[in-house]
Structure 1
């Protein structure tokens, strides 16, 4: 029998009745909605040490210090708040007089929807807490984007989310997946989006935050998550805002010389076409959830192997639920009005021009193209060599459906689809599926079809079914 989910009031009461849990609430920007649940639940006197809201920037600066560029709704601000408040508890509440106490500090820094409704509202929410009185502190940090168009409703949503987070910290620490799911207890996906989460501390020493990010996309809590080459979760808005964006989509199972050749020469053309440089361009290697599910349920080990390889090569990775390319480009456009480039192979472009993909879209393929080829978006097309007859397919001889030929010509003439000309012909007969078979069967030569560091990593870590041969295995 499935245990019914608790309401925010029930969760707040459960925490209030636990005499060992004791802490502070510091909420800035959307009222004191979280602590309100604890006051109303009853028994709050043994749980709440302090509740405050330093709305005025001067007061806030006097307590937590000034922020660079006067930005207050940031992850850095939230962490300052959490650590300052915990330090204050430790300073003012003697441990010897309070044996068994598990201290915590909950904080949020949020901006709700403005009067003109030009900004929807977002914020950072977190909790710093102990699982036992002698344990070092743990932290859970999340970033939220409100979907409701009423500030009062956004405040209420934030209050429920805060209760769920604190309850999860104390009751679901041993199961972070359940903790992530529980953040939406008494809430719905159409009320808010959680697009970043970060676990740290001794209770989460074995938690891989990339897997927690994957959970957000799997559960529909967000459309996309991003982590850098070091495997750290990144807020999409932070790294995409007002940037030129160049993306490569693939399975990257594993990364082949074709992937790198397409990326490097496509990026070179993108930079030349738009006078971009490294500082104002964000490169993304994107993997879709549908790709990860291609063989059934998502194999998390396989997922991490792919991401680790891309990270070793120095690339930033995005995991998304954008099955169609136009959704990916439309997503990028919410963060930037600069240039967008997508490198893809001929087969992928044929899919883009397949009307079957857009049957459920009200405006059909025209609506999709309006979102895909918006602004300065450009496709950099990598050629395909037909293994059956050796024909080389490029944008010049690509055959699309008859009713789309004129539309295709239009995008060609306006240079929205351009061929990657400076490719390496030797790489055109490299296919990742064939490489995977060779890795498993130990067929000679597969290493030459991958970047050297990738081949070495696969061998060292036994990725993608690779097993080192022994004398016994040779007999």
Structure 2
């Protein structure tokens, strides 16, 4: 859908001149850049009931905390701000407002660059707003990563983003795709990444937040998006904060007994780690966007089917645009996680050591290895079945080119690659391509190759071409 991209000032002015929109702007941490944009546009008296900047943490706790201070730049604090300000707006002004007036509250809690520039700028922004019925509010929550290397520039970006968000809530709520695209009006990904968007409310209940997340990746607004085991879109900083992560890449179309065994054996191996605790260790199934694109289009239904199956088996899901594993590892390096384990089979590991995949790096394979194995990172390697001999191949059985052998020995001797043992050997002969082919040809042999839950779900929902 083609549209004119308005300047930030014109968007703010359009909202100010709309007599139906009225509310509060509350900001923490990044100044009052969003409120400033509306005041500078002119006519703000018709839009803004109150602005507030609870910059001091004690004041922030006094106004918004329910007894625990905790982290300030987090989703919980944003929700506390929206709750408190919307309640006050209703309590103070509801009896006075005209029938056509729609209340809104905009809030943000943001960390910009400090004086030493040794932190990462990021923040939460949210709008609670009425559209069709007074007193019945919708809500949009956004998390952003601020990329500029200057606090003043980050504040300008925040102001633009806040105006874009409020404008989109009132003028683009009927088109989620347009809504997302408009958030980056007059901005670029060099300045800001939008790492999470979540919509809810009576006027937005038609929106599937999982598809919004995939659109963020597809549109280049963020390199990856997280879904927790319940299918909810989550912000990666919160998901991975002080957590261990075990990441398995695959197509999962569908997940087979082999994939299930890889998850099981990798988790069992990591349980031996002294830092392991059930509540601080996440298993994550990663699907690259390349596997979701077929014939140039995103197969949304196919994507949801895969996420549903993985969630049904208790798995968290990551959708990314990473082709190379070193980019995946680098992405996790953004967050304050504890240990990272990348899980893969021998065929994939052989490709990891293939020099031809790193022609784009000045340092080639050596540079890639350096990026793939930072501190607290290891690769877990699942064995494979040699179909010619019927023997199981572990990493000690693979053939490595002579000019790469020294790298392989270095990784093995320093325990950076770990061979998974205790696998279920009878499942090694299963391949996902064969399972998919059997499903689509209505050959019942596939039912013995995937977990029972997956069989039941595929049959009930007729997934992956199953006709029954």
> TM-score, length-normalised on structure 2?
0.96
Contact 1:100/1:133, CA 8 A, preserved across alignment: no
Report the CA distance shift for 1:16/1:249 in structure 2 as closer, same or farther (over 3 A).
same
Deviations 1:423-465 (A, max 9, x none): 1221111111111111111102211100001110010111111
Gaps of 5+ in 1: 469-475
Larger CA deviation: 332-341 vs 76-85: 332-341
What is the CA–CA distance in structure 1 between the aligned matches of 2:422 and 2:172, rounded to whole Å?
53
SS of aligned partner of 2:272: helix
Partner of 1:9: 9
Partner of 2:106: 106
What is the CA distance between 1:239 and its match in structure 2? 2.2
What is the CA–CA distance in structure 2 between the aligned matches of 1:275 and 1:50, rounded to whole Å?
48
Gaps of 5+ in 2: none
Partner of 2:90: 90
Partner of 2:406: 406
Map of 1:5-404 to 2, 5 A cutoff?
5-66=5-66, 68-95=68-95, 97-134=97-134, 136-274=136-274, 276-293=276-293, 296-336=296-336, 338-388=338-388, 390=390, 392-404=392-404
What is the CA–CA distance in structure 2 between the aligned matches of 1:381 and 1:219, rounded to whole Å?
33
SS of aligned partner of 2:27: strand
Report the CA distance shift for 1:59/1:377 in structure 2 as closer, same or farther (over 3 A).
closer
What is the CA–CA distance in structure 2 between the aligned matches of 1:382 and 1:57, rounded to whole Å?
48
Larger CA deviation: 267-276 vs 74-83: 267-276
Deviations 1:80-109 (A, max 9, x none): 211222222222224565120111011111
Contact 2:8/2:163, CA 8 A, preserved across alignment: yes
Contact 1:103/1:133, CA 8 A, preserved across alignment: no
Partner of 1:451: 451
What is the CA–CA distance in structure 2 between the aligned matches of 1:268 and 1:294, rounded to whole Å?
35
Partner of 1:432: 432
Contact 1:213/1:225, CA 8 A, preserved across alignment: yes
What is the CA–CA distance in structure 2 between the aligned matches of 1:98 and 1:124, rounded to whole Å?
31
Partner of 2:423: 423
Structure 1 stretches (4+) deviating beyond 4 angstroms? none
Report the CA distance shift for 1:20/1:408 in structure 2 as closer, same or farther (over 3 A).
same
Deviations 1:125-167 (A, max 9, x none): 1111011243610010111111111111011000000000000
> TM-score, length-normalised on structure 1?
0.94
Contact 2:244/2:282, CA 8 A, preserved across alignment: yes
What is the CA–CA distance in structure 1 between the aligned matches of 2:244 and 2:17, rounded to whole Å?
52
What is the CA–CA distance in structure 1 between the aligned matches of 2:67 and 2:176, rounded to whole Å?
31
Partner of 2:466: 466
What is the CA–CA distance in structure 2 between the aligned matches of 1:228 and 1:424, rounded to whole Å?
27
What is the CA–CA distance in structure 2 between the aligned matches of 1:390 and 1:6, rounded to whole Å?
65
